[in-house]
Amino acid sequence: MAVEYLKYADSKKIRIDSYLAQTFPEFSRSFFGRLIKEGEVLVNGKQVKPSYLLSGEEEIEIHFPPPPPKKPLAEDIPLEVLFENEHILVINKPAGLVVHPGPGNAEGTLVNGLLNLTSKLSEVDIPERAGIVHRLDKDTSGVILVAKTNQAHFHLAQQFQERSVQKEYLAITHGVPKEREGRIDLPIGRSQRVWKKMKIDPRGKASLTYYKVQKTWGPFAFIIARPKTGRTHQIRLHLRAVGAPILCDELYGKEKELKYSFFTSFQKGTLLSRQALHAHKIKFQLFGKEMEFQSPLPEDLQRVLDFFQAHYPKESGISGKNDYN
């Protein structure tokens, strides 16, 4: 691990993460934000927050992590393959798995597992993103496409760019939208205050999500979301904007985990400890052939629905056939 020492001698106040990003332009402000939060940046020998304002005469000590290997290493990570041919892989990604290596995640990612699964992945992007056409958040589970050939990569990437790929997500929310079915058309931009968060921003990128409430239980809802655009954290922000933040969403939700004690004093433990968002279905074209794949609701989210149904026996939501299968 390389260590750098700096002295900030300017009297002009500036956030430490911004100052470090300006001093080391090869690294992003978000990179230094993570480094600071991990305690690898000290100011006058003490840990600080990324928002700390430098005002002059501070001694700064930076511990840079070793760079990730140019080519990620293959790792024996269990992966559920939904489909494979000579051009693509379709994976059912579990919650908790980062898609590709990056600062702070040099190993243990989907890409590392893919390299153990096959030696044939597209090389359109940098080696750390071999085969990756689109992404899912770390704690979002579900179906994800992987390109094995450059030809397939370009073909799929074009469809994502043209917004012709049809995606469907299943979400459990802590909050119920006023309208049971609707269209959320709100632009999204990056937060200037918290490096890893996005926000609804009139100056942001156009973002569109369709949703439909399937069931409700008291303050909770089960929702189908169909995003037309693919902005970072889009569904999470859009559902929060209509009063239905994703359950256990640590960035935008009401809680980091849902304990049984929320409902009863007689049961201990945690019902859910990751954001309740699942990539359920994807539909696209592969060289003229229409393809569709589904990932069933995982056990941890199904357990939440079963508990809600038992705890709220007079379920107050939509009756009749579900719109997903």
Same domain, 94 and 153: yes
Same domain, 202 and 295: yes
37 and 89 housed in the same domain: no
Residue 227's domain comprises 166-311
Q: Tell me whether residue 325 is in a domain.
A: no
Q: Is residue 73 part of a domain?
A: no
318 inside domain: no
User: Residues 238, 290: one domain?
Assistant: yes
181 and 142 within one domain: no
172 and 56 assigned to the same domain = no
Say whether both 252 and 117 belong to one domain.
Answer: no
Q: Is 38 domain-assigned?
A: yes
- Asked if 236 and 245 touch (Cβ cutoff 8 Å), the reply is yes
Which of residues 104, 138, 162 is at a domain's end?
A: 162
Residues in the chain with pLDDT values less than 50: 318-321
Domain-ending residue, one of 162, 197, 229: 162
Looking at the structure of the chain, the number of domains it has is 3
Is 323 within a domain? no
Q: Are residues 85 and 181 in the same domain?
A: no
Strands 41-43 and 58-64: antiparallel
Q: Any idea what the CATH number is for the domain that residue 86 is in?
A: 3.30.2350.10
The phi and psi torsions of 217 (rounded to 5 degrees) equal -135, 105
pLDDT the model gives residue 304: 97
pLDDT of amino acid 321: 45
Query: Based on the domain organization, do 20 and 142 belong to the same domain?
Result: no
- Whether 52 and 104 map to the same domain: the answer is no
Which residue out of 17, 76, 125, 137 is catalytically annotated?
A: 137
Instruction: Tell me what pLDDT residue 161 has.
Output: 94
Rounded Cα–Cα distance for residues 131 and 76 (Å): 17
Domain presence at residue 69: no
| Judgement on whether residues 12 and 87 belong to the same structural domain of the protein | no
293-321: b (≥16 Cβ within 10 Å) or e = bbbebbebbeebbebbeeebeeeebbeee
Q: 243 with 156, same domain?
A: no
Catalytic status, residue 137? yes
And the tokens for 172?
């459990």
Q: Are 254 and 245 within 8 A, CB to CB?
A: yes
pLDDT of amino acid 1: 58
Instruction: Tell whether 51 is covered by a domain.
Output: yes
Q: What is the pLDDT of residue 254?
A: 95
Last residue of a domain, one of 141, 162, 183: 162
Asked whether residue 248 is assigned to any structural domain, the reply reads yes
